Amino acid sequence: MFEQFTMGVIEGFYGPAWSFAARAGYARFLRENGFAFYIYAPKGDLSLRKRWRDAWSADDRAALEALRDRYREVGVAFGVGLTPFGTQSQYGAEERRALERKIRDLDALDLDIFALLFDDVPGVPADLAERQVAITHDALAVSEACGFLMCPTYYADDPILDKVSGPRPARYLETLGAKLEPRVRVFWTGPRICSPEYSEAHLADVARRIGRKPFLWDNYPVNDGPRMAKHLHLRAVTGRPHGLATWSAGLAANPMNQAELSKLPLATLQQSLQAGDAYEPQRAFESAARALWGPALAAALAEDLALFQDAGLDAIDADARERLVAKYRELASPAAAEVVAWLQGAFLPTEQLLAEFAGTGL
C-alpha cells in the first residue's frame, strides 16, 4: 500500500469523538468521493494514547471489528493510529514488550494500515529522532499491516510546536529521514499546523529533509482547538492543487468534530486535486452541499457561511442564535442537527481540552 499517491481520512482530532454509527456511515461516502482509506485515531480514545497499554472494552472491540468489516465491504482500507505515550522519554525492555503486546492486539483487527503517532506528546530528549526510529522499527517488525505511517513530534515548520514542546533537536527531520526504513511514510501538516495551502517548493524542501515525499496530514477542515471549536469550517478546500499528487506521497484529511458537516468540504477535495486551474471553490461548495443535503439546506449554509466559518459563535448574539436554531431545526437533517448543536454550545471545549491546548493559540 502507498506505492502511489492516495487520499483518505484520519479521525485524529481532539474533543467530542464521532459515534460508531457516524463512522460506519462514512464508508460509502469515502468510496464515492475518491478516498481510499480511513484511520481510526481519535485523541479521546485513551486506549490508543495516554493509557495505550490498556485493552479496549469488549463492546468497543466489537464495534471496531464491525467498523472494519463495513469499510472492507465498500473497498476502503481500514487503519488505526497508536500514540505510545512516554516511550520517547523512557524506552527499555519493559516498554518494548508492552509495545509488542499492543501491536499484536491491534494486528488481531487485521489492519490494512498502522500509524505510529508521536504528535503532541511530552518529552523531547536530544536524541529524539534516534529514539523514535528505534520505536518505529520495533513496531514495524511486529505489525502485519500492509501500510505503515509515522507522525513526528515536529510535524510542521510551525514555531508553535517549538513553543509547546520545546526547541526541536538539531537536524531532527534529517535524522529521521536518514535512519527510517524507506517504506515508512512520514506525516507532515505543512508550513503550519493548519496550513492554508501547500506549495511545490515547500514540499520539495520537506522531501529533501525526510528523505521521501511527505504524507500530508491535512488539518482542514478540523476545528478541534479552543479557538477553532467556535467555527464551522464548511468552505470548499483551497490551496490543495492537483500537483499534490506529484509532490506528496498521499493525503489524510483530518475532519471536524461534526461528522456530517465535515462531508461538505471533504466532498470538494477530489475535485480540487483533479480539476487543476478549472477548479472553482464556490461552485464546488454549492454542488457538494446540494448533492449531500438538497437545495434548502444548501441555500441556508451558503447564506450563513461567512457567519459560521469566519465570525464564529462569539459574533452571534442570543437573539440571532435563537433565530438560527429555529431556522436549522426546520430543515430537519443530520447536518442541520449538528448546526443546532454547535449553536447551542455542544462542541465548546471542556476544561480538559483547554488544558491540552494551553499555550498553542489554536
Residue 300 contacts residue 340 (beta carbons within 8 Å) = no
User: Any residues with CB less than 8 A from the CB of 2 and at least 6 apart, and which?
Assistant: 147, 149, 185, 215, 249, 250
DSSP letter string over 219-274? --S---STTGGGS---SPP-S--TTHHHHSSEEEE---S-HHHHHHHHTTHHHHHH
Q: At what angle do helices 172-179 and 128-142 cross, to 10 degrees?
A: 30
Average pLDDT, the chain: 96
The pLDDT tens digits for 93-118 are 999 999 999 999 999 999 999 999 99
Nearest-angstrom CA–CA distance, 20 and 93: 36
Residue 7 has pLDDT above 90, yes or no: yes
pTM for this predicted structure? 0.97
Predicted local confidence at residue 351, as pLDDT: 80
Residue 205 has pLDDT above 80, yes or no: yes
Nearest-angstrom CA–CA distance, 158 and 154: 9
Tell the residue number behind the cell numbers 469523538, with chain if given: 17
Write down all domains in the chain, each with its CATH number in brackets.
Answer: 6-283 (3.20.20.80), 295-351 (no CATH)
The pLDDT tens digits for 30-47 are 999 999 999 999 999 999
